[in-house]
Amino acid sequence: MTTVHPETLKRRSMLYRKLATEGARFERTDDGAAPASYANANEVACARKMGIADLTTLPRIGFKGKDTPAWLVQHGVKLPGGPNQACLQQDATLVVRLSNDEHLLLDDVEFSGGLVARLASLWAFESDRLCYKLLREHSHFWLLLVGEYASAMLAKVCGVDMQPKQFPFGCVAQTSVARNNAIVVRSLLGTTPAFHLLADSASAEYLWFCLLDAMQEFNGGAVGLEALRALARESNSR
Amino acid sequence: MSVEERLPAPAGLLLDRSKKISFRFQDKQYEAWQGDSIASALAASGQWILSRSFKYHRPRGILSMAGQDANALVQLPSDPNTLADVTPVSDQLAVVAQNFKGSLEHDKHAWIGRFSRFMPAGFYYKAFFRPKGVWEKIWAPIIRSRAGLGVVDTNYTSGYFDKQYAFTDVAVIGAGPAGLSAALAAANGGASVLLVDENRLLGGSLTYARLAGAADAAARHREQLVSAVGAHANITVMCESMCNGWFTDNWLAVIKGSRLYKVRAKEVIVCSGSMEQPAIFRNNDLPGIMLGSAAQRLIKWYAVRPGRQAVVLTGNSHGYGVALDLLDAGVRVAAVVDMRAEPTADALSRAIADRGVRIITGSAIYEAVPDASKNHVVAVEVRGISARGRCADHGERIPCDLVCMSPGYTPAYQLICHAGGRVAYDDATSMFTLEGLPQHMHMAGSVTGMYVHESVCAEGRYAGRAALQSLGLSTEDIEPAPVRGLSDRVNFDWPIFAHPAGKEFVDFDEDLQIHDIIVSTLDGYEDIQLVKRYTTVGMGPSQGRHSALATARIVADATGRTVAETGVTTARPPFAPERIAHNAGRSFYPERHSAMHHRHLEAGAQMLIAGAWLRPAFYGEKGQRDQCMAREALNVRQNVGLVDVSTLGGIEVRGPDAAELLQRIYTFRFAKQAVGRCRYAVMANEQGVVIDDGVACRLHEQLYYVTATTGGVDRVYQSMLRWNAQWRLNVDIANVTSTWCGVNIAGPKSREVLRRLCTDVDLSSQAFPYMGVQEGHVAEIPARIMRVGFVGELGYEIHVPQHYGEYLWDRLMEVGVEYGIQPFGIEAQRLLRLEKGHIIIGQDTDAMSFPAEVNLDWAVAKEKPFFVGNRAIQEVNTRGLTRKLAGFVIEDANAPCPQESHLVLDGDRMTGRVTSCYVSPTLGKTIGMAFVAPEQAQPGSTVTIKSTNGRLVEAKIVKLPFYDPDNKRQEM
């Protein structure tokens, strides 16, 4: 994997300076860069317990409007049963239903799906269709909180019960995290519990600080895409 | 007693006898075992005085050993008012006593007690204020020097405190036999249970109290329950955790260590137990006199023998259990004094009789006798009870160095009261009872007045099952709750014995005697709430835990009411003292940064806070604001400047009815706005007040991109959603503030700079005129470009997707070098817009500003059939204005520049206030805007401004704008 420096690219996560300070080595993601690893020999072990990864430059997109469900179904997207639910597509893209008419699509850490890119290219502003694209890859930064302590850590910053029993895979909370609006999606990386957290891009540095602080007692730390992929592969082979 | 001389196991449940530690108290070295509390370690070494009392400086020692009284407050290096009876001692800890002058044993202020009859409750309301001025000069300094307890360490550095949510089906507060039984019942039914207890050990009274039967009966019961709880997967245990308050919807504040847990429980079971009460007799506060349960805790928890020879004063069978424990610990029990005339014989009393202990019934302690130094009890005078609260004229003096008091209990009702429960009083049993619990709250154990072990456990199980039913986890019929029986009557009805010489303390915290409470009622303060405030009873550190019951009884007696009618004062959170740090620790203060934030810092920006945003105020040294602002503004006027406008709100309105929505929401007209054009948009509320402004850009017949103010966008968005919930127009509304970031490149050379990076949009004035909007690319980034003129120069707002923002800034600064581009901050932007006469909503408007007052009547389409605020605006316009925003200049170069909100005067009459004012480097004079009276608003009028330090400054009203009135600069 070629390493790059985010400042040489147009699209930059607001966190790239902080990630660099943590020792991140970046890899190319479309027109941006994401942390591949942090030169930490125990990064996978860390991710199993409590890791935080910046996925801000990974592909994602949103669609909103009353014709959105029909348009997505027309293009082969399987929709979650109702608002505040998420479901995986065959290509590992995660579709998150935020309301009846609003959906968010998240690519996976391998960028294996291509559904996000395909839908982005298919969409056009049309007067007779109330389905509008939302630039979720810019409006929100995107973190993955991974590991067995993730729900305990979230209990320090969020008033929603995210214990596995109450908040299983596919549950979505549009809530306040550290007094900041956020979307939290319960996911799974292989068999390791994971939470996607998306919030206003302008709050990225603030929330990064809050979350790192909250995960200190669990010896949590930043992890890169390589650790996430290793974890996913390792778990899948179990 | 050295550490080696402690009682043998199983006494000393909390001790780790493999770790000996040492600590200091009052400059003397003491030894302790790991696990000792400060007070237990001192008691083991014969140090019984812990502190001095607040008012009379009387010696005070162990009372409860449960952290419930002020006697045990000591000073740690950085922690005043630490509860010595529950705080574990640590190696090399330095502890000092509080509230004494001289030495702890010989307090120089102890003489005050001799004059107590001249200082009854409320005496300070009747003294200290005459003659005039005597309070400030004499009394206040004296009292202030003696007030307070511990000493605050002002150099203290707080540790790390934080908060955490916790979620559970059932929260059980209190892990005594009732709590353990309740937790098991609920958990067995499938509920998740959080079991909270303030102590280090689970088991509550089973850890120290004596049950009927074998000496180890309580320990065996405890072992069974605790093992079952420990093995249960559904139960989470939190020991050393204080549930300090109940709030709406079963929100419980639980403090453990340096963390505040915000517990959300679907059901709450309060098993908080009860608090043993002191008896009230003369000198009942002497060291060596303690609650029976305190002596038991010393023995069972810390293996400390609490004395050599004891007298036990009791009004129930529990006192006999205390006596048995004392005997087992090697203490000689001189007598059990039972206040009941005919106590019911039970297993415990028979066991005492069998061991040859003298039992004196129908009697009370009339007076405790101190030693020569008055620092410890050496005897008690026991007299027969001749009537309620009265003793016979003569009695018997019994030597002792320990007095254990077991006259009864009050329930730990505080949490239940937080939840709206009420404290009542049963005159038949002389006990407080609780009623009026809210839904989803249950209680069990001695808090309900249940004291027989089997019934306590049964009631716990009942509460657990009731919680399961409420959760919908059980539909089985529950067996009836156990009923209180005679054995549960543990309160002696009147353990209060007045003495002619007083010093029978009702409230140890405040040194309040029986007479003080009665004086309050004699002075007319008969309501219990007034008694509290007049006497301060219950207002000390122990918050009435040991005084509420006695006070209610005394007030009832003095006012001819029943105790039930008298009641108790309100219990509010917190239950126990908590550190401010628990509330302040790790609070969240969201902060928002634009994509260019770090570029501003690298350029030396001084940042200002705007809501949650950090914005560059100006670029340069902190003390150089005016110079930096002037330099930045002049560069915009002469060359080109770049300002970050990412914080501006952005809303997209999409769909067939998009224009109609804007037509109704904003005051101006939008129906015929052409695609590719921008239009100024003013928003009013239903009262016609201007609440926001922005620019509406029509990008498509069915797509508007509308900007809003930094602080107002959320309100604008909510307002649009709210109104359209009524109107049901066919539109989709999206807040895209976070999607787009933006810059404003402004100045006569801005077009040239932009041309270097934008090749797919014709930037010529003809193709892209003022108030046009185009979509294209800047530096190969997709962009929305608006030609607007907030600062009064040729300029473009460039909005690009958020994560491209820093790249955009870099490229513009890079190509702009040869044109003299410089960043400019918010201060310069405010100055530039003032020169151009543009208002800022919230600065030049207030919560009463109508469009015509702030010269925005041109932006109101009066012919529209409807828009929000229309009717109110019409009404106001009909009535005429009462004030007007006007521009002014100050010609006097030596006059101070007025500040915002400085007053505008007409003679002595206040007619308005300054809203904006700067020294304009472009115009070479001070300019500003101010609300003035309508008659003062005519250009050429003169107004007076009361400026800094009250200096009156003459200002001339002029026509706006100050700069480029023909708009040639912005339209070039």
Q: Which residues of A touch B613 (CB under 8 A)?
A: 202
A-B CB pairs within 8 A amount to 119
pLDDT value of residue B113: 87
d(CA B32, CA B19): 9
Is residue B243 within 8 Å of residue B230, measured between CB atoms? Answer: no
Lowest mean pLDDT among B210-219, B478-487, B887-896: B478-487
CB atoms A203 and B701 under 8 Å: no
Question: CA B59 → CA A90, B48, B97, B841, distances in Å?
Answer: 78, 9, 11, 65
H/E element, B766: none
pLDDT value of residue B139: 86
Triad B457, B460, B466: Cα angle to 5°: 145
Say what percent of chain B tops pLDDT 70.
100
Residues composing chain B: 972
pLDDT above 70 (res B4): no
CB atoms B734 and A134 under 8 Å: yes
CB atoms B595 and A11 under 8 Å: no
Q: Which residues of A touch B589 (CB under 8 A)?
A: 179
pLDDT above 80 (res B522): yes
Mean pLDDT of A51-66: 96
Query: Tokens for B908?
Result: 């002595």
Could you say which of B167, B612, B613 has the minimum Cβ distance to residue A163?
B167
CB atoms B590 and A135 under 8 Å: no
Q: Which residues of A touch B703 (CB under 8 A)?
A: 125
pLDDT value of residue B118: 83
Could you tell me the pTM of the whole model?
Answer: 0.91
pLDDT: which is higher, B254 or B117: B254
Instruction: Name the one residue in this structure whose structure tokens are 């969020």.
Output: A158
pLDDT value of residue B119: 84
pLDDT above 80 (res A89): yes
Domains within chain A, CATH numbers bracketed: 39-58+141-232 (3.30.1360.120), 60-137 (3.30.70)
Lowest mean pLDDT among A38-47, B78-87, B684-693: A38-47
Instruction: Name the one residue in this structure whose structure tokens are 């409590």.
Output: A50
Mean pLDDT of B905-929: 95
The residue in chain A having the minimum alpha-carbon distance to the alpha carbon of residue B653 is: A132
Q: Residue A237: pLDDT band by 50, 70, 90 thresholds?
A: very low
Kindly give the residue spans of alpha helices, DSSP state H, lying in B481-624: 514-522, 528-535, 548-559, 563-566, 580-584, 597-602
Treating both helix axes as pointing N-terminal to C-terminal, what angle do B528-535 and B514-522 enclose, rounded to 10 degrees? 120
Q: Which residues of B touch A132 (CB under 8 A)?
A: 652, 654, 732, 734
CA–chain centroid gap for B58, Å, is 34
pLDDT above 60 (res B871): yes
CA–chain centroid gap for A107, Å, is 8
pLDDT value of residue B140: 86
d(CA B768, CA B785): 10
d(CA B533, CA B224): 47
Q: Residue B875: pLDDT band by 50, 70, 90 thresholds?
A: very high
Question: CA B264 → CA A55, A182, B167, distances in Å?
Answer: 32, 21, 5
pLDDT above 60 (res A236): no
Q: What ipTM describes this predicted complex? A: 0.97
Q: Please name which of B724, B718, B722 lies closest in space to residue B654, comparing C-alpha atoms.
A: B724
Q: Which residues of B touch A140 (CB under 8 A)?
A: 738
Could you say which of B165, B192, B730 has the minimum Cβ distance to residue A155?
B165
Q: Residue A108: pLDDT band by 50, 70, 90 thresholds?
A: very high
Mean pLDDT of B543-569: 95
pLDDT: which is higher, B152 or B418: B418
pLDDT value of residue A167: 97
- Counting Cα atoms < 13 Å in the Cβ hemisphere of B966 gives 2
Is residue A84 within 8 Å of residue A97, measured between CB atoms? Answer: yes
Q: Residue A2: pLDDT band by 50, 70, 90 thresholds?
A: low
d(CA A91, CA A94): 9
CB atoms A213 and B586 under 8 Å: yes
Q: Which residues of B touch A57 (CB under 8 A)?
A: 803
Per-residue pLDDT of A133-160, as tens digits, reads: 999 999 999 999 999 999 999 999 999 9
Smallest Cα distance from B631 to chain A, Å: 29
pLDDT above 50 (res A238): no
H/E element, B277: none
Could you say which of A125, A156, A200 has the minimum Cβ distance to residue B700?
A125
Q: Which residues of A touch B586 (CB under 8 A)?
A: 213
Mean pLDDT of B755-761: 97
Long-range residue pairs from A211-214, CB within 8 A, at least 24 positions apart, any chain: A211/A52, A211/A143, A211/A145, A211/A153, A211/A157, A211/A178, A212/A52, A213/B586, A214/A153, A214/A154, A214/A156, A214/A157, A214/B162
Q: Give B472's contacts (C-beta < 8 A, 6+ positions apart).
A: none
Could you say which of B589, B730, B781 has the minimum Cβ distance to residue A10?
B781
Domains within chain B, CATH numbers bracketed: 3-105+278-406 (3.50.50.60), 161-275+408-588 (3.50.50.60), 649-736+850-875 (3.30.70.1400), 882-972 (2.40.30.110)
Per-residue pLDDT of B814-851, as tens digits, reads: 999 999 999 999 999 999 999 999 999 999 999 999 99
State the CB neighbour count (10 A cutoff) for residue B157.
6
Treating both helix axes as pointing N-terminal to C-terminal, what angle do B217-230 and B453-471 enclose, rounded to 10 degrees? 20
DSSP state of B709: -
Calculate the average pLDDT of chain B: 95
pLDDT above 60 (res B559): yes
State the CB neighbour count (10 A cutoff) for residue B364.
30
Per-residue pLDDT of B295-327, as tens digits, reads: 999 999 999 999 999 999 999 999 999 999 999
Smallest Cα distance from B272 to chain A, Å: 26
Per-residue pLDDT of B432-452, as tens digits, reads: 999 999 999 999 999 999 999
